[in-house]
Structure 1
Amino acid sequence: MAGLNVRSVLVTGSNRGIGLELVKQLLGKSNPPQWVFATCRDPEGARGQELRNLVSKHPNLVMVKLDAVNPASIEEATWRVEEQLDGSGLNLVINNAGIFSDVSLATVDSEEMLGAYKTNVVGPMLVGQAFLPLLKKAAQGSSQKGLSCSKAAIVNISSVLGSIERVPETFFKPVISYRCSKAALNMLTRCQALSYAEDGILCAAVHPGWVQTDMGTQEPPVSLLTSEFPGLLQADLPVDESVRGILTVLPTLSEKHSGSFWSWAGETIPW
């Protein structure tokens, strides 16, 4: 993780699971960011308690209220972050907030599908748009050549279940609304990469693996327990290992990787 030298990072959905672990490991780095912005919908609620405990121990951690599907909430969050940065830019946005429902094609309905798209696709789109000026400022103020996560980047936490090519191999878990929304998030990532490259901003999608969180509740079949799908080993992938992998992959990404799809283990994933 030593290679990820960022002054400021914002993580959405950071009150639990992968988001919380990202915050913890960023803070625990030998060269931690000057500012880590941990966002969640209800910082003062019961689910924000662990983050509040961390804030009391780390002066560089700032909790920010942000509902990724509420434009007004996102706008307020950008003001809060901009105020804290005091004239400097924001280096890295990690769009981690997402929802998951175990629904099949036979049981999914329009409300479920639209809800998944709103949180898993529209949310990251709005967050990227809102923080774009601060990301641009970071890129403009950097002396680094090319693109990198240390300079200015948007990283979208996606899933191998959104890979259209691998549907036949992963369909043991239909989760229709989740996998369709993650496929759409992958498309958003490609579009962001092309749109924001001229501003010096790298964009990439990352599959965190079948992690032991609220979402990782079903064991994949034996046919998938191979090195080809290391991220689908729910029982063997603790959240801290997943996040260590993610934070090892991010420093390796450059302009030739913008718009690409990676696993936590550093493997490219087909669209």
Structure 2
Amino acid sequence: MGELCARSVLVTGANRGLGLGLVQHLLKMPNPPQWVFAGCRDPKGKQAQELQNLASKHSNLVIIPLEVTDPASVKAAAARVEELLRGSGLNLLINNAGTANPTSLDKETLETMTQTYTTNTVGPLLMGQAFLPLLKKAAQGSPGSGLSCSKAAIVNMSSYAGSIEDVYVWEFGQVVSYRCSKAALNMLTKCQSLAYREHGILCVALHPGWVQTDMGGSGESFKPPLTIDASVQGILKVLSSLSEKETGTFLNWEGKVLPW
């Protein structure tokens, strides 16, 4: 299994949690990407302070203002990334930005369903569309006919909670809007894998594990089983090993296939 050798990577929702962890680990790799683009809603805000500190120490890290639910923001981010890449493509798009609403079935509303679905499903759709030209360019500029994350790939951060066959941790929380949005994201990933395969782009849905983050829960009463570091190390190892066999699949941070 080789190391991930992507020249350029974009991570959405990169100012905290798993997104920030991915950026930190990408920068620490023995052979780090030439470009790490960190998308976040408010680059100058308090919640992006750690990201700003990292950017001041790493010239290959660029913070990109990005609201994945806003088509104009997504287009502007794609234009900025294209400008910085100067004719080369984007190897790896990690759609990590997400939201969860801890609501039970009887309390879900049009607003909670729409907001969660727009961020978790429509966001990755818009990102895939906007960055497709740059991903295609990366695929064309890479040697070999196979698919890989070092060549051109879309990685959608999904969740085992979106599995219809095995409704993961239902007893812990119904989070219906979140589950529905991730089930839909899994189908989007499948559709992207079929539509973008001819362009040499690998697409995969990835469950990062139940991670100790603001969204996953990190309180004293209950701690999710996985640290951000453990999850990210697993994710990067899995990404380095993916090939055309795995495009359109639903995997966890250890590379295990999950039921749809």
TM range (shorter): over 0.9
Matches within 5 A, 1:182-221: 182-217=182-217
> Are positions 1:170 and 2:169 aligned together?
yes
Matches within 5 A, 1:1-271: 3-167=3-167, 169-172=168-171, 173-217=173-217, 234-271=223-260
Give RMSD over aligned pairs.
1.4
- What percentage of aligned pairs have identical amino acids? 62
Q: CA deviation at 1:251?
A: 1.2
Distance 2:218 2:14 in 1: 23
Q: Which amino acid aligns with 1:197?
A: R
Distance 1:34 1:126 in 2: 25
Q: CA deviation at 1:252?
A: 1.2
1:124-177: per-residue Cα shift (whole Å, max 9, x none)? 00000000000000000110321000000000000000000001x531121000
Counterpart of 1:227 in structure 2 is: none
TM-score (norm 1): 0.92
Q: Which amino acid aligns with 2:259?
A: P
Q: CA deviation at 1:193?
A: 0.1
> Which contiguous aligned blocks of 4+ residues in structure 1 show a shift greater than 3 angstroms?
none
More deviation in 93-102 or 234-243?
A: 234-243
1:151 aligned counterpart, secondary structure:
coil
Q: In 1, are the aligned partners of 2:2 and 2:241 still within 8 Å (CA)?
A: no
2:204 aligned counterpart, secondary structure:
strand
Q: CA deviation at 1:2?
A: 5.5
Q: Which amino acid aligns with 1:98?
A: G
TM-score (norm 2): 0.96
1:236 aligned counterpart, secondary structure:
coil
Q: Which amino acid aligns with 1:163?
A: S
Structure 1: tracts of 5 or more residues without a match: 220-232
Q: CA deviation at 1:217?
A: 2.1
Structure 2: tracts of 5 or more residues without a match: none
Count of residue pairs the alignment pairs up: 257
Q: In 1, are the aligned partners of 2:217 and 2:224 still within 8 Å (CA)?
A: no
Q: CA deviation at 1:234?
A: 4.6
